[in-house]
Amino acid sequence: MFGRDRSLTSLLNDTFIRGILFQALIAIGLFLSINWLADNTLSNLANQGKTLGFDFLTRTAGFQISPTLGTWMLDYKVGKSTYTDVYLIGIINTFIVALLGILAATVIGFTVGIMRLSDNLVFRWFSSFYVEVVRNVPLLLQLFFWYFAVLRAMPSKREKLELVEGVAGLNITGLYLPAPIVSDGFIYSFLSLIGAIAITFLVRRYALRRQAETGQILPMFWIGLGIIIILPVLVHYLNGSPLDWSLPEFKDTGPKLRQGYQSGAGMVLVPEMLAVWLALSLYTAAFIAEIVRAGILAVNRGQTEAAYALGVRPNVTLRLVVIPQAMRVIIPPLTSQYLNLTKNSSLAVAIAYPELVSVFAGTALNQVGKEVEMIFMMMMVYLTFSLMTAAFMNWFNSRVKLVER
Amino acid sequence: MKKLSFLSALCGAAMGFGAVASANAATTLEAVKAKGFVQCGVSQGLPGFSNADDSGKWTGLDVDLCRAVAAAVFGDAEKVKYSPLSAKQRFTALSSGEIDILSRNTTWTMTRDTQLGLNFAGVNYYDGQGMMVPIALGVKSATELDGANICTNTGTTTELNITDYFRTNGMSFNLVAFEKADEVVAAYDAGRCDVYTTDRSGLAAQRGKLTQPDSHVVLPEIISKEPLGPVVRQGDDQWFNIVRWSLNAMINAEELGISSSNVNMKKFQSKLAPSVARLIGKEGKFGEELGLSNDWAYNIIMQVGNYAESYEKHVGLNTPLKLARGVNSLWSNGGILYAAPIR
C-alpha cells in the first residue's frame, strides 16, 4: 500500500503532514504560554488576597461627575447610580467626543486639503502653514494649549459673552445653549423626518432613471431640501409643536457665589469637552488634509483634461470625475485617522473631561481596585469602537472602490 | 490544574512580565537587597512631602521615610530610587511590583486596606481635607458654597469626601477632576473653579504655585480625617514590619530625645537608658529579628534624623508651608503621634 513503507523522514518531508505538525506545535506552545501567564496572574492575585470578578459593577458609586452628555443621559445621582452607570457614562462621553471629532476633522481636513491645491496663493500658504504647525506639535500639548489658553481668555464665571441675546452665551464655566424639552408628540416629528429622508431617496432613484432614459436632469438638491424641511415642519406644527426650549439663565444679583449662569436651566458644554473636541479635530484634520491632497493628486491629470474636452464644467468635473476616483485612495488612510482620533480621546483625562479613562480607569478603579477586570473592560470598549469604525469604513470603501471587470 | 476562562487568559497576557517578575522573587527584602536599592513611589511634586529640586534630588517628609528604610536595610539612606506617580497610578504600581514602598501622601482607608491587596504600615502625617477659595468670593464658611464649581484630583479620597460633605449639607456642586495636581492648580488659578479642595497640607504646599498666593484663603472646615502613611503589598509581613518599624524608630527617637546631632555621642556613652540602648542597637537583637543589622535604627537617626527633625526641615514653621505641629505633635506634647515601644 501507498505510504505504509514510507520512513519517518519522508513523512516529515511531506508538505501536508509537515504543515499540520508545525501548526499543531505552535498551537500547543501558544496555549501553554497563555495558560502559564493566566495561572501566574491568578496566583499573584491570590497572593495579594484579591479575586477576579465583576460583582463591583452593581455597587453604588460615591463620587460626583461633572455635567456632560453621559451624566445627563443616565441621570447620574451620587449614591444611587452604580459603577455600571459610571462605565456607561465613560463610554458615552468617549463616543460623543470621538463622533463630533470625526465629523469636524473630516470637514476641516477636506477643506484644508483642497485649499492646499488651490490656485490662490493665500489659501495655499495658509493651509500649508496649518498642516505643518499642527501635525508637528504633540497632541497633549495642543490639548493643554486649547484648554488653558482658551480658559484664560474667557470671561469669568460671573460675567458672560452673549453670542445670541438671552439664548446662547459663553464664559469660563462653559458654552450655554438652549436645551430641548421633548414632550409626548415629538416622536411623530422625528418619524416624519426619517420618512422625508426615505422619500428623498426614492425620488432620487426615479430622477437617475429618468436622466438615464431621457437625459433630462431634475434639480435634485432643491427637491430633496424641500421634502426634508417642509414635511417634518408641517407635521411638527400640525401636531401643536410638542417641543419646548429651556433657555440658559444668567443672574448678576444675589450672593456672589450664586451669580453667573444657573445650573438646571439650558444646556452647558463644559470647556473641558470643547477643548478636547477642538484639539482632536484640529490635530486629526491636519493629517486628513494631507490624505485628501494625496488622493486628489493621485487622479491622473488626463481625467480632468478629458472631462474638459467633453465640455464638462470645472465644479462638475471635480464632483463627478476627480473626487470619486480620489476617494478610493483617500478612504483606507482616512479610516486609520478616524481610529487614531478615537483612541487619542483618552488623552482627555489630562484636562478633566470625564471620558472612559478618567472616570472608569481613574476614579472608579481607585475606589474598587479591580485592575485586571477594569482595564480589560476598557480595552474592550476601545476595541469595539475601533472595529465598528473599521467595519463601516470598509463597507464604505467597498462602495467607492474601482469596479474591476 | 485551575480552570481557566478566556477572560483570565487574556488578562494574564495583559499583565505579562510584570507579574512574572514579582512571582520569582521570594521576599521583598531579598529582592531589594539583590538589586541594591529601594524603589520608592512618590508624588509628581508636592513641596514639603515629596518634591524634586533642580538637580533631581528628592526631598520631603514622605521621601525621608523611604530614606529611612534604605538606611535600615543598607545602612545608606541614599540607596533609594524614586518613581513619581499620579494619584491613580500609585496602587497599580505597587501591586504590580514596580515599587517596593508607596510613600506618597496616601490616605489610609478601610477600602484601600482591605480591597486593594495592600497594607498601610503606619501614619507619618495626620491630615484633613480642606478647601481654598479666592478672598474676593467673600465666603467665610464651607456651608455657604452651595452651587460652587470645585477643582480636585481624580483617584483620591478627596472626590468622595467632597461629595459626602455636600450631600450631607444638602448642597449642590460641580466637580472638575484632573489627573495631575499641577493642572488642578492651573485651572483653579485661571478661575475655572470657585474652590480648590485637597488635603490641607496639600493646599499649603500648592498655594505657592498660584499667581497671587495671598489673595486666597483656606476655609476653617476640615471635612475629613486623612491619616497619610506608607503602603506596602499585602502578604510580605517581614517587609511590612521593616517599613512600620523604620517609621516607629523615627517617632520613638524624637520621644527619647535622640537626634542626628546626639546619636553618635550616645553610641559611645557607657550609661544609657535601656530604651535608648535598645533603639540604637546596643542592647538586644531587634534588628536581626527584622532581618536587618542591629544598628538599623542608629543608621536611620544618623542619616535621616528623628521625626521632629524631618518635620521641621520639610513642612514646619520655618518652611514655605508653615505647618504647625498641631495634631502631629507627640502624644506627650498634646498631639496624637504615638509609636509602639521598641522592647
Does residue A288 lie in a domain region? yes
Q: Which of A52, A352, A367 lies at the smallest CB-CB distance from B111?
A: A367
Mean pLDDT on B264-276: 88
| pLDDT of res. B35 | 94
Considering its fold, how many domains does chain A have in total?
Answer: 2
Q: Do B16 and B112 lie in a common domain? A: yes
Does residue B181 lie in a domain region? yes
Domain of residue B245, residue span? 6-126+227-333
Mean pLDDT on B15-31: 60
Task: Show which of B160, B193, B224 is a domain's final residue.
Answer: B224
Q: Do B122 and B138 lie in a common domain? A: no
Does residue B298 lie in a domain region? yes
Q: Do B165 and B211 lie in a common domain? A: yes
Location of C-alpha cell 493646599:
B203
From the CA of B227, how many Å to the nearest CA of chain A?
Answer: 17
From the CA of A156, how many Å to the nearest CA of chain B?
Answer: 7
Per-residue pLDDT of A167-212, as tens digits, reads 888 888 888 888 888 777 778 888 888 888 898 888 888 888 888 8
Mean pLDDT on A82-89: 93
Q: Do B104 and B245 lie in a common domain? A: yes
Location of C-alpha cell 504646599:
B205
Q: Do A23 and A167 lie in a common domain? A: no
Q: Do B102 and B179 lie in a common domain? A: no
Using the Cβ of B176 and the Cβ atoms of chain A, whether some distance falls under 8 Å is answered with yes
Q: Do A297 and A172 lie in a common domain? A: yes
Does residue B111 lie in a domain region? yes
Q: How far apart are CA A204 and CA B261, in angstroms?
A: 92
Q: Do A43 and A73 lie in a common domain? A: no
> Contacts by A370-375 with C-beta closer than 8 Å and gap 24+?
A370/A50, A370/A52, A370/A53, A370/A56, A371/B92, A371/B95, A372/A41, A372/A45, A372/A52, A372/B11, A372/B14, A372/B15, A373/A52, A373/A53, A373/A54, A373/A56, A373/B11, A375/B14
Does residue B340 lie in a domain region? no
Question: What stretches of A15-167 adopt beta strand conformation (E)?
Answer: 161-164
Using the Cβ of A269 and the Cβ atoms of chain B, whether some distance falls under 8 Å is answered with no
Task: Kindly provide the ipTM of the predicted complex, given to two decimals.
Answer: 0.76
| pLDDT of res. A4 | 54
Does residue A207 lie in a domain region? no
Which CATH number goes with the domain that contains A110?
Answer: 1.10.3720.10
Q: Are residues A39 and B235, on separate chains, in Cβ contact within 8 Å?
A: no
Q: Do B76 and B115 lie in a common domain? A: yes
Contacting residues of A for B156, CB less than 8 Å apart: 366
Does the pLDDT at position A344 exceed 70?
yes
Q: Which of A34, A271, A371 lies at the smallest CB-CB distance from B13?
A: A34
Q: Are B103 and B66 in contact, with CB atoms under 8 Å apart? A: yes
Q: Do A27 and A73 lie in a common domain? A: no
From the CA of A94, how many Å to the nearest CA of chain B?
Answer: 16
What is the three-state SS of A125-171? HHHHHHHHHHHCCCHHHHHHHHHHHHHHHCCCCCCCEEEECCCEEEE
Q: Do A308 and A164 lie in a common domain? A: yes
From the CA of B301, how many Å to the nearest CA of chain A?
Answer: 32
With cut-offs at 50, 70 and 90, classify the pLDDT of residue A1: very low
Task: Show which of B204, B224, B244 is a domain's final residue.
Answer: B224
Q: In whole angstroms, how large is the CA radius of gyration of chain B?
A: 21
Taking CA B174 as the corner, what is the angle to CA B173 and CA B176, rounded to the nearest 5 degrees? Answer: 145
Q: Are residues A376 and B160, on separate chains, in Cβ contact within 8 Å?
A: no
Considering its fold, how many domains does chain B have in total?
Answer: 2
Residue A275 vs residues B32, B43, B262: alpha-carbon distances, Å: 44, 27, 57
Contacting residues of B for A360, CB less than 8 Å apart: none
Q: Which of B11, B13, B154 lies at the smallest CB-CB distance from A358?
A: B154
Relative to beta strand A168-171, strand A161-164 is antiparallel
Q: Which residue has the higher pLDDT, B3 or B132?
A: B132
Q: Do A85 and A32 lie in a common domain? A: no
Q: Are residues A62 and B233, on separate chains, in Cβ contact within 8 Å?
A: no
* Chain A (21-40) residues lying within 8 Å, Cβ to Cβ, of chain B: 34-40
Does residue B305 lie in a domain region? yes
Task: Show which of B199, B224, B249 is a domain's final residue.
Answer: B224
From the CA of B333, how many Å to the nearest CA of chain A?
Answer: 36
Q: Do B121 and B176 lie in a common domain? A: no
From the CA of A378, how many Å to the nearest CA of chain B?
Answer: 12
Does the pLDDT at position B24 exceed 50?
no
Q: Do A290 and A326 lie in a common domain? A: yes
CB atoms within 10 A of CB B268: 7
How many contacts (CB atoms, under 8 Å) link A and B? 184
Does the pLDDT at position B315 exceed 90?
yes
Q: How far apart are CA A241 and CA A233, in angstroms?
A: 9
Does residue A3 lie in a domain region? no
Amino acid present at A40: N
Does residue B174 lie in a domain region? yes
Nearest CA in chain B to A63: B160
Domain of residue A15, residue span? 8-47
| pLDDT of res. B19 | 42
Length of chain A: 405
Residue A208 vs residues A201, A205, A216, A325, B155: alpha-carbon distances, Å: 11, 5, 9, 20, 59
Does residue A210 lie in a domain region? no
Mean pLDDT on A80-101: 93
Does residue B51 lie in a domain region? yes
Q: Do A391 and A295 lie in a common domain? A: yes
Q: Do A22 and A165 lie in a common domain? A: no
| pLDDT of res. A268 | 86
Q: Do A150 and A34 lie in a common domain? A: no
Does residue A132 lie in a domain region? yes
| pLDDT of res. B127 | 93
Does the pLDDT at position B307 exceed 90?
yes
Instruction: Give the best-scoring range by mean pLDDT among A401-405, B36-40, B182-186.
Output: B36-40
Q: Are residues A257 and B145, on separate chains, in Cβ contact within 8 Å?
A: yes
Q: Do B108 and B142 lie in a common domain? A: no
Q: Do B141 and B251 lie in a common domain? A: no
Q: Do A27 and A136 lie in a common domain? A: no
Q: Do B185 and B51 lie in a common domain? A: no
Q: Do B236 and B217 lie in a common domain? A: no
Does residue A190 lie in a domain region? no
* Chain A (168-197) residues lying within 8 Å, Cβ to Cβ, of chain B: 172-173
Mean pLDDT, chain A, rounded, equals 87
Q: Do A90 and A122 lie in a common domain? A: yes
With cut-offs at 50, 70 and 90, classify the pLDDT of residue A311: very high
Mean pLDDT on B306-316: 95
Which CATH number goes with the domain that contains B235?
Answer: 3.40.190.10
Does residue A193 lie in a domain region? no
What DSSP character marks residue B49?
T
Q: Are B148 and B165 in contact, with CB atoms under 8 Å apart? A: no
Q: Do B112 and B156 lie in a common domain? A: no
Using the Cβ of B111 and the Cβ atoms of chain A, whether some distance falls under 8 Å is answered with yes
Using the Cβ of B324 and the Cβ atoms of chain A, whether some distance falls under 8 Å is answered with no
Exposure string for A311-344, b = 16+ CB within 10 A, e = fewer: ebeeeebbeebbbebbbbbbbeebbebbbbbbeb
